[in-house]
C-alpha cells in the first residue's frame, strides 16, 4: 500500500479535508447572535434556561413571556407571582415544574408580621400540583380572646411577639380552623405540599415549599437538536435558535414536514 496517495496535495482526501476546514471555519465565524445570547446562565447552582430568563442578564427573547426571574444578592432565584416573591428552590425542566417557597417565610427567621399574602394563580402560566395544601396564617390574633384555649395556643407560630397579639398557623384541614378564624379574623393562605403520613414542622413545610406545573412551549426537541429555545414576542411564536439561524422547532432539517 502506498499511504502517500491519501495526502498528496491534490488527492480527493486532501481536498475534502481542506473543504471541510473552510466550511467549519465559515460556520464558526458567523454563529447566529441569538443562539449565542441564549446560552444558559446560572444563579447560584440553579441553571436558568428557557422558558425562564434572568431579567437584565439574559435577553427577553431567550424566555417565554411571563417567565422572567431575577437573581438576588444571595444567589437565589426569585420569581414574583401576584405580589408575593418566591424563591425558586429547584426547576425540573423535564416535567415542566418547579419548587417554590415564599421568600418571606424562608429560612430560620420566619417573619411574624403579615407579609405572606394570598397567592392567586389567575394567569395561565402556573398550575398547582395535586399534593398541595393550604397553610393558614392568622396574624393579629387577639391574645385576650385566645385566653386559655390550650388547643389554639399550640398553634402559636411566633415567639417574642407583643403580649396582646399572636400569630397562629395551621393547615386548612385542621378542625380548629373555624375557631381560629372566629378569634383572629381572616387569615392568609400559603401553599405547601404535604405528603401522606409525614410529620414535619410548619417551618420545615414553608422552607420546603410547593411544586407548581408550568405551561409553556416544550423545549426538548430543540434542545436535543443542539439548539437554544426562545420566543419572538412580535410574532408571538416559539423559536429554536441554532448555530446557523433561527428555526421553527428544531435544528435538524426537515422540520417543515413535521412542524405542527
Ligand X SMILES: *[C@@H]1O[C@H](CO)[C@@H](O)[C@H](O)[C@H]1NC(C)=O
Contact set with ligand X (CB under 6 A): 61, 74-75, 92, 95-97, 109, 118, 129, 147-148, 162, 164, 186, 188-189, 199, 211, 213, 218, 220-221, 232, 234-235
The count of other CB atoms within 10 Å of the CB of residue 85 is 16
Q: Which is nearer to ligand X, 7 or 236 (CB)?
A: 236
> How far is Cα 194 from Cα 11, in angstroms, rounded to an integer?
70
CB of 102 to ligand X, least distance (A): 14
CB nearer to ligand X: give 171 or 188. Answer: 188
Minimum CB separation from ligand X for residue 26, in Å?
Answer: 23
* CB 147 to ligand X: min, Å: 3
**What does the DSSP 8-state code read for residue 27?**
H
Which CB sits closer to ligand X, 220 or 253?
A: 220
Provide the 10 A C-beta neighbour count for residue 137: 25
Give least dist CB 65 to ligand X, A.
Answer: 12
* Maximum distance among all Cα pairs of the chain, rounded to whole angstroms: 102
> CB of residue 228 vs ligand X: minimum separation in angstroms?
12
CB 112 within 8 A of CB 158: yes
Q: Which of 4/95 has CB closer to ligand X?
A: 95
Q: Which is nearer to ligand X, 13 or 224 (CB)?
A: 224
> In angstroms, rounded to a whole number, what is the distance separating the alpha carbons of residues 59 and 107?
31
113: alpha, beta or left? (left if phi > 0; alpha if psi -120 to 50): beta
Q: How many helices (H) and strands (E) does the chain have?
A: 9, 15
Amino acid at each position: 500500500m502506498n499511504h502517500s496517495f491519501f495526502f498528496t496535495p491534490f488527492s480527493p482526501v486532501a481536498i475534502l479535508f481542506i473543504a471541510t476546514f473552510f466550511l467549519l471555519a465559515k460556520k464558526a465565524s458567523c454563529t447566529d447572535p441569538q443562539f449565542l445570547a441564549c446560552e444558559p446562565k446560572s444563579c447560584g447552582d440553579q441553571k436558568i434556561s428557557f422558558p425562564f430568563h434572568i431579567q437584565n442578564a439574559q435577553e427577553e427573547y431567550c424566555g417565554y413571556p411571563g417567565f422572567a426571574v431575577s437573581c438576588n444578592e444571595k444567589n437565589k432565584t426569585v420569581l414574583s407571582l401576584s405580589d408575593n416573591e418566591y424563591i425558586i428552590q429547584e426547576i425540573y425542566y423535564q416535567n415542566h415544574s418547579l419548587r417554590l417557597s415564599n421568600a418571606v417565610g424562608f429560612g430560620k427567621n420566619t417573619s411574624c408580621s403579615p407579609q405572606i399574602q394570598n397567592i392567586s394563580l389567575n394567569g395561565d402560566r402556573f398550575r398547582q400540583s395535586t399534593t398541595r395544601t393550604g397553610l393558614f396564617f392568622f396574624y393579629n390574633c387577639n391574645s385576650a380572646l385566645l385566653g386559655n384555649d390550650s388547643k389554639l395556643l399550640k398553634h402559636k407560630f411566633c415567639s417574642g411577639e407583643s403580649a396582646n397579639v399572636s400569630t397562629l398557623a395551621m393547615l386548612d384541614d385542621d378542625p380548629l380552623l373555624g375557631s381560629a378564624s372566629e378569634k383572629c379574623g381572616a387569615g392568609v393562605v400559603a401553599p405547601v405540599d404535604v405528603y401522606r403520613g409525614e410529620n414535619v414542622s410548619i417551618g420545615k413545610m414553608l422552607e420546603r415549599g410547593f411544586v407548581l406545573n408550568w405551561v409553556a412551549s416544550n423545549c426538548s426537541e430543540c434542545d436535543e437538536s443542539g439548539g437554544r429555545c426562545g420566543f419572538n414576542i412580535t410574532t408571538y411564536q416559539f423559536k429554536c435558535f441554532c448555530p446557523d439561524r433561527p428555526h421553527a422547532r428544531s435544528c435538524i432539517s426537515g422540520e417543515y414536514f413535521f412542524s405542527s
